[in-house]
Each structure stands twice: as C-alpha cells, then as structure tokens.
Structure 1
Amino acid sequence: MQTKIVATLGPASMHPETMRQMVAAGVRIFRLNFSHSDAAYFIPAIKTIREIEGEMGIPLTALGDLCGPKIRIGEVEGSPKQVNKGEYLHLGLPDERPAGGELSYVSLDIPELLAGLDVGMPVNLSDGLLQFKVAKVVKADRLFELEAQNAGFLSSHKGIAFPGKHHPMPALTAKDIKDLHEGIDVGIDAVALSFVQSANDVADVKEHIKAHGAWIPVVAKLERQNAVENLDDILKITDVVMVARGDLGLECPIPELPIIQKKIIRACRHAQKPVIVATQMLLSMVHNPIPTRAESTDVANAILDGADCVMLSEETAIGDYPVETVKVMRQISDEALRYYLERIEGPFAPKKERNPAKYLAYAASLLATNVDAPALISHTVSGDTARILSSRRPAQPIYALTPDTRVLRALNFAWGVKPRLITGDDRRHMDRVEEYVEANPDFKAGEPVVITAGRPTPGNPSSGTNEIKIYYK
C-alpha cells in the first residue's frame, strides 16, 4: 500500500470496532478535527488508536487538525435571501450599517479583513457560491458596496473569502494554541495548521511545539492563494503539506484548481515533503454505498499525480458507510498505483543538482529493480533517508527502521514507506538492519534486499546515509 489513507474520526467512526475495521481496510492516519471539539474529547479515540496499534502491529498516527481563524459573516436579514446578478449590497463592520439603507447588509466583525479592500477586488460569500466585486468604497476600511457577479442564496453565518488579498490575521489562534498544547499532552502524533499564508505561520506553531518540550511533525494546510504563492518558502520549513481544496477553491478560480493541485504535488515530491490531497474525494458516499464515477476518477488522478496520502473527511466522520468508504478508496488506490508505476517507468532521477542523498536514494532504487529485490530497507534516525527514498517512487516497498516512536508515526505520511520500530544500541546501523532482515519472515532465504544506512567516518562523524548494500538473506 504505497499511497496512505487518512480518515477523519467523528460520530460515525469513533467506535473501537469501526476504527479497527478501518485500519484493516487501509487507514494509517486518523484525523482528529479540533474545529468542533477539544483535546479531552479525543482521549478515548487516541487510547483506541494505541490499542489497535498494539493488537495489529501496525504503526498508526493521530493527526490533530487545528481550527484556525474562522471567518464568517453575521446575521443576514431575511436569510436565506435570493441575490440576483448585478444586485448591490453593503459589506461592513457591524456598527457601520447605514440608517434606513435600502441595500441588504452583510456584517463582518473582523476589521483587519476589511483593511485595504478596494474597488475591483473580489469578495466571495456563501462559501464561494456567491461572487462579488467591490463597486464602491463608502468608508475606507469599514464600509463597501458590492456588486453580485452571479445569482444565488445569501445565508447568515456563512464563510467569506477575499481571493488574493493578504490577511493580517495569524494562522494560529488562541484556541489553536490551547488545543495544540493539550493535544500534545493527550498524545497526538502530528498537527495540521489551518489557513497557512507564509512560512512564518509554520515557524510559529513549531516554536510552540518546541516550548512544550516536544517534537511532532507539522502539516501546512494550503487553503489560501497566498500560501500557493509562498509554497517554496513553506516547503523549506514544514514537514507535510495538505492540499485543502475546499477553502482553496474559494480563493483560487475553480478552473485553475486541478492544475494548482498538480503543481503543489510535484513541488512537494521534489522537496521530499509528503503531500495529502483532501476535501470531497468520495463525498457522495456520506449517504451512498458506492461513489460517483467522477469521484472515483478524482481519487485516482490524485494518486496518478503522485500524492503521498488521500484523505476522507465527512465520509468517515458522519457518513453512513465509513468502513466501506475506506475499502473503496483502497481499491481505487490499488488500481491507480499499478498504472502509476507502469507509467513512470522506474524511479525518478534527480535533477542536475548537488544532492548526494538524492543520488544515493536513486541508485538504491535502481539496484532494487536490477536484482529483483522485494524491498528497500533503510535505517533512519530522523526519517530523512526514508523520505528521500520515497521521493524517488521505487516500485518496491520501503521498510524504514527507526528507534524513535515519534519518527515511526511521522513516516506514515510518506508514500511507500512501512515504518518499523527497532531497538537502538551502539552497533553499526547496517548490523541492526541485517539482524532485522534475518528475523523477518517477509523475506525468504537467498532473497536479496537493498539496504541503505549511515556509517560515521573519522572525517565526517555525522555522515547521514552513506552506504548502499545488496544483502542476501
């Protein structure tokens, strides 16, 4: 199972037996959505995750997904209200509503978001279904007249978006900070940061994790156009990326979204950072036992693009068929991966660059194919070696041996990687790996495996990965 499955827990899926069946069907990462709950609510689920992990001998990852700044309008008179194309309405702070005004009024009590709004700028309401342009600045930074670009219904307390406009609000809210620290205390293995705009947002959450005396990987959720524009800088600091197509689709033109997704996935693989594709992947399965043809194609295309993980949201959180949905996603994945590996015709060669680790991973992948090895095996302390191997997309599974349980669960995000926990000691890394191969029934006597490991030398005491070996059991 090269592409990993992320499943969101909720009322439909938090029963231990349901979670057990989901793991058996292919889930390796459980998403805990902090938008509607706090850390205490997820204590039983994390306990169940650890129990299933022990029972089945499969590393599982608990991903805490922080809420981020919720941007919603206030009460709309006559909601839901029909808005016609070309119709005008007012948008402003709650205390700026014109007395006796004839136009419908949309209030927003976050002054920072209205600062700098100007004529011609786009504004999307009703979670993107209604699109407007600023027609007039009535009072700078406080009150505006909008013109509807299409028709639809306007409802109270729905989301509002300002495509392309920088938001001065930090991605990490007071609730997020509380949820992060409490989440670490109850045992989350990774954290997803919502509404990232720049690398600074990722740095902020990493500082809080460090201050807590912990280390867990950070997933940067790309939901704003600014994040896409700042992707290169974000990739330098984040551990994982999520293409969160719901909110991203509100900020970016819908026709451009498929290409944006492809570009993000490609950039992540080149940076050796795992990427998750999320939102509405099998949405019809919330109430139907089979997906639509378009949904099946969407999941397959994300895998063919090279996504490390595909994610289920409402489908498993509140859906009628959580286990069946995972099984369908696994079946689509298996079919798509066969064609993906056939199409790429071998591991990806590095670009012309000075990057010995990439070339070593590429060489190991070529060797594995040449000797018909059933697997690549890497000893990794930080997880970097396994992630670099993963980025080459070898046809063989990658057994990543690590003595660190934090790294073990972090590697669940990486394509093709099977994390395995080993005991740390003073022996050479290669010796530990060979011992693992000899004791593992997955490998037959006389069968070759390709091993990568690191061996410090007098001239380089912290060499990282510097050995490749073909080992016959």
Structure 2
Amino acid sequence: MRTKIIATIGPASNSPETLTRLIQNGVRIFRLNFSHGDASMFTDLIALLRALEKEHGVPLTLLQDLSGPKIRIGELREGTITLDQRDRVVLGPSGSEMVRDLPFIPFDNPPIMETLEVGDKVVLSDGVLQFVITEKLPLGAFEMECQNNGILTSRKGLALPGKPVRLPAMTDKDKRDLRDGLALGVDACALSYVQTPEDILTAKAIIREAGKNIPVVAKLERQNAVDRLEDILEVTDVVMVARGDLGVECPLPMLPAMQKRIIRACNRAAKPVIVATQMLLSMVNNPAPTRAETTDVANAVLDGADCVMLSEETAMGKFPVETVSFMVEIAKQAEEIQFEAQKVRPPDDEKGTPDFLAYSACLLAEKTQADAIVSHSMSGSSARQLSARRPRQIIYALTPDPEALRGLNFSWGVKPEGVNKALSGHLERAEYFIETCPLLPEGSNVVITAGQPKPGAKARGTNLVKIYRK
C-alpha cells in the first residue's frame, strides 16, 4: 500500500497490544491530540511508542495536533436548550442575559462580537444548529433565529461561515504545548485554524528556537485559508484537508470539489496532503463501514491524497484495529485503479531541475519495468518529488537525518530507510542498500537517484539518475 494511514491515539488504542497491532497493519503516523490536555498527558505514551519503534524496526512519526483558537460558547444556565426551527435566542456577553426574555447563549469573545452584523449566519455545535442574526440588542448582544431543530449544550464550537475571523492560529497554550512537545520528541506539528502563511512561520520559528527541523502541517479549516492556499503552500511542509470545520465554514455541496482542488494544488507543489474527518466514522460502533464511507476513502486516494486520517475511529471506537484493516484494503483497491488509468505525472512547464529529474527517474522506472526506486536524500526533498509523480514502484528513501526520515512517512509510496553512515558516497550508500535489502531479490532492476559530487566537492542535491541491476 502506498497511501499512508494516520491513527489518532486515545483510550481505545493506547495499550501496547493495540498499538502493536496498528503498527503491524501498516500505521506509521500516530496523532497526539493536544486539544484536551498538555504534554504531561503524553510523556508515557511517547516513551511507549519509541520502544515499539525500536522493537519493530520501523520509523514511527508522532504528530502533535495543537488545539488552536477554537471559538466556543460558554456554560448554558439551563445546561441544555432544545430548539425548534424559527425559535429565537439571545447571543451575548455575560451581563446581557436580561436584555430580552429569550433563551440566552453566553459568548464572551469581544473581537468576534464586534464583527457581527444583522444577517450574519452563526453555526453552533459543529454544524448541528444554524442561526441567522436578526437584531442588534443593547449591551453588545444579538437576537438570532434558529434555522433548524436541535439540542444545544455548553461549550460547543461557534463558526461564522464565510466571515473572516482575525484570530492568530497559535494561542499561548499552543506555543507552550509545542515547546513541551518538542522537548518530548514529537516528529511533526499540526497547526489548527491556519489562515495565513505567517501562522506557519510562527510555528517554524518556535521549532527553530528549539534546535529542531520537523515538518509543520497546515490544517485547512477556514475559507480564508483555502483562499490563500498558494501562499500557504509556499511555507508549509504538509497540508491537511480538515473537513469537519471546513464543512461548517463553507456550504457542504462545495466540499468535495474543494477537497479535490486542494489535493491537486498540493500534488503540483510536491507537498504531502492529508484527508481527515469522518472517513470511517460508523466504525466507532460497528465492525464494518458503510458503503458511502468506503467510497469516500477510495475517492480521497483517487484524488491524490498522500495520507488518510482516522480520529474517533481509533481514539475511542470499539474496533480500532479492524478500522485500520478496512482502510488498508480500500486504499489498496483504489491504488490499483489509479495505476490502470494514470501514467507518471509530468511536472508543470515552469518547474525546475529537481522536478524534471524526479520525472525522468519515474519515467525510466516505468519504461524499464523497474522493481523499485531508491533515492538518497539528505533532506527528503528528492523523495517527495518522486512521490508527487506517483510511480507504481515503491520509493525507498535513504537519509542519515532522523528528522527527515520520520517526516517522509507523510509521502505517498515512500518507505523511509536509514543509511550506512560508514559509507561516505551517496551512490555507494544506495547500491549497498540494494545489495543488502531482502525485499529486492537477485536480478532486480532498480532506478537510483542521488547527489554525486565531483571528487573532493560537497554534495549539492540530486544530480544523478541510474539503473542498477542487483
């Protein structure tokens, strides 16, 4: 399987036995959700995953998912409010409860309240309840009309579809969590509610201060982030199509096309892209997915996703291992269809030498029916370029850098491998790997890409493509 699976760890999956089975089923990226706690909650779990990494002899990537500035209502006085279509409520700061004799929803967020206007749409509880603002009231409150039926409870999320929300993506808690996570040894950081490239650069500055160089994942959850996708792609390392909040921000009928456009842009930029949210959600309680869910996962793979992510399914579901097994089989079937219908992807005309070298290597592997591609890369960039071309062959990515090694788990079709540092030449390391790799039998044809400098000169990136016969 070329598509990577990200599994969120929670009470259903944090035991050594379950984690072992997830690794055996192909999971190489584990998501640590910092929305409900801090680094102290993950100390033992990270130590356990590092022990399992060593035991199984595979690089595991620990993805720290920061909570971001989630906008929430306060505590409801009644605890729960049952609403019918056309019911009216008051949304306002503490102290405005009595401006009108209607159910009151507390919301103490002055920067957001100052932007609200009559006619704005307000969505609560991840899209379950939808309102329209009908009147501005004294004391900074607003009257709203409910557009559907539902139940509202305390501390639910609030979204303003189509309205830019000017809040920094990193809260003080996020900055503290990131520093603590880096000290614990996380391998990647996911940034929630990204809106601008500056949000990514803020996280990268903290990572550099800690002496690290781990990838940053930009979670696209707001329309204005999608509007600035090309700018964000310039600075981010990975993109996540976070369909939960994005599906609240934009009309749901637009979401499939938006997903495809985001993935296409990421593929063109050779940046790994993750599709997340409710992929096999029914398996939280059921041992098999729905037909619609299997189609959704397959379509994400066919769209060009590098990774597909499981959240509640593995964090709190009854069947975490079975869920991963289903996802593996769905992805494998989709990949076969992909290979039937698609040739090696050429780069755009304006791309540079690295893109065309990667394309040449993949084209050579296709025409010679090579058994694999082996890429030696210090940063992992060459392997990501190869991955973006979507060759049929597995890409063995050799690197001496542990951070680059684990970062390559995000890239489609890439199998990260450490190198024999006793050998100095990149080509020599690649050939040694081929000769000692049990997965490449005698007589295998392998395409190699490497940076082979002139004698006495320093390597400056990939400049060699070669066919090697074992």
The two structures have a TM-score, normalised by structure 1, of: 0.95
1:124 aligns with 123
Bigger CA drift: 395-404 or 252-261? Answer: 252-261
8 A Cα contact 1:453 1:465, kept in partner: yes
- Which range moves more in the overlay, 420-429 or 259-268? 420-429
Q: Which residue matches 1:450?
A: 447
Find the aligned partners of 2:438 and 2:125 in 1 and give their Cα distance. 56
Question: How far is 1:162 from its partner?
Answer: 0.8
- Secondary structure in 2 aligned to 1:96? coil
* 1:220-259 deviations in Å (ceiling 9; x for gaps): 1111111111111111111111111111111111111111
Aligned to 2:370: 373
> Is 1:465 aligned to 2:462, yes or no?
yes
Unaligned runs of 5+ in 2: none
Confirm or deny: 8 A CA contact 1:40 1:186 kept in the other structure: no
Report the secondary structure of 2:240's partner residue. Answer: strand
Q: Which amino acid aligns with 2:44?
A: P
Deviations along 1:130-186, whole A, 9 cap, x unmatched?
A: 21222223359x322222233322332211101122222211111111111111111
- Matching residue's letter, 2:296: D
Say which SS state the counterpart of residue 358 (structure 2) adopts.
Answer: helix
Distance 2:150 2:248 in 1: 15
CA distance in 1: counterparts of 2:231 and 2:384, whole angstroms: 19
Aligned counterpart in structure 2 of residue 288 of structure 1, from 286, 289, 301 = 286
The residue number in structure 2 matching 1:395 is 392
The residue aligned with 1:102 is: 101
**Cα separation, 2, equivalents of 1:114 and 1:127:** 19
Aligned position for 2:45: 45
Q: Distance in 2 between matches of 1:139 and 1:185?
A: 48
Q: CA deviation at 1:128?
A: 1.1
User: Using the alignment, how far apart are the partners of 2:53 and 2:446 within structure 1?
Assistant: 26
Code of the aligned partner of 2:403: R
Deviation, 1:425, is 5.6
> Partner amino acid for 1:360?
L
AA at the equivalent of 2:395 = I
Q: Distance in 1 between matches of 2:3 and 2:463?
A: 27
Partner of 2:105, secondary structure, is strand
Encode CA deviations 1:185-205: one digit per residue, 9 max, x unaligned. 111111111111111111111
Q: How many residues align?
A: 470
Cα–Cα, structure 1 residues 135 and 3, in superposed 2: closer, same or farther, change >3 Å? same
Further displaced range: 407-416 or 171-180: 171-180
1:95 counterpart SS class:
coil
Whether contact under 8 Å (1:457, 1:463) holds in the other structure is no
How many Å apart are 1:461 and its aligned residue?
5.6
C-alpha displacement of 1:75: 2.9
CA distance in 2, matches of 1:133, 1:183: 40
Structure 1 window deviating more from structure 2 (315-324 vs 113-122): it is 113-122
Match of 1:322 in 2: 320
Could you say which residue in structure 2 is the equivalent of 1:29? 29
Which residue in 1 is equivalent to 2:155? 157
What is aligned with 1:57?
Answer: 57
Consecutive unaligned residues of structure 1, counting only runs of 5 or more, are none
Report the residue type matching 1:151 in the other structure.
N
What does 1:64-463 correspond to in 2, within 5 Å?
64-99=64-99, 101-138=100-137, 142-344=140-342, 346-424=343-421, 427-457=424-454, 463=460
Go from structure 1 to structure 2 and tell me whether the alpha carbon gap of 1:426 and 1:139 turns closer, same or farther (over 3 Å shift). Answer: farther
Residues in 2 aligned to 1:235 and 1:79: alpha-carbon distance in whole angstroms: 42
> What RMSD, in angstroms, separates the aligned Cα atoms of the two structures?
1.8
Q: CA deviation at 1:350?
A: 1.3
**1:357 and 1:137 mapped to 2: Cα distance?**
57
| Secondary structure at the counterpart of residue 41 of structure 1 | helix
Distance 1:330 1:170 in 2: 37
Q: Deviation of residue 286 (structure 1)?
A: 1.0
Q: Does the 8 A contact of 1:390 with 1:417 survive in 2? A: yes
Output the CA distance in 1 between the equivalents of 2:243 and 2:303.
15
Distance in 2 between residues matched to 1:49 and 1:343, nearest whole Å = 38
Q: Displacement of 1:444 after TM fit?
A: 2.3
Q: Give, in whole Å, the separation in 1 of the partners of 2:79 and 2:97.
A: 17
Counterpart CA distance in 1 for 2:235 and 2:420 is 29
Secondary structure class of the residue paired with 2:274? strand
SS of the aligned residue for 1:135 comes to strand
> How has the CA–CA distance of structure 1 residues 150 and 259 changed in structure 2, closer, same or farther, with 3 Å as cutoff?
same
Q: Which letter does structure 2 place at the counterpart of 1:63?
A: L
Q: What SS does the aligned partner of 2:76 have?
A: coil
Q: Give SS of 2:95's match.
A: helix
AA aligned to 2:354 is: A
Residue identity matched to 1:291: P
Write the distance in 2 (CA, Å) between the matches of 1:25 and 1:455: 36
Deviation at 1:321, TM superposition (A): 1.0
Residue 168 of structure 2 aligns to a residue whose secondary structure is coil
Amino acid of the residue matched to residue 122 of structure 2?
V
Give the residue type in structure 2 aligned to 1:189. Answer: D
Letter of the 1:35 counterpart: S
- Tell me the residue number matched to 1:14: 14
CA distance in 1, matches of 2:137, 2:196: 31
Equivalent-residue separation in structure 1 for 2:285 and 2:36 (angstroms): 22
Q: Cα deviation per residue 1:198-222 (whole Å; 9 max; x = unaligned)?
A: 1111111111111112121111111
Distance 2:399 2:308 in 1: 25
Write the distance in 1 (CA, Å) between the matches of 2:394 and 2:313: 28
- Does the 8 A contact of 2:190 with 2:219 survive in 1? yes
Deviation string, structure 1 residues 117-137 (Cα, Å, up to 9, x no partner): 222221112221121222223
Q: Is the 8 A contact 1:378 1:399 kept in 2?
A: yes
Distance 2:86 2:192 in 1: 33
- Tell me how far apart the structure 1 counterparts of residues 138 and 241 of structure 2 sit (CA, whole Å): 36
Quote the sequence identity (%). 54
Q: Is the 8 A contact 1:77 1:104 kept in 2?
A: no
Contact 2:126/2:244, CA 8 A, preserved across alignment: no
101-110 or 267-276, which deviates more:
101-110
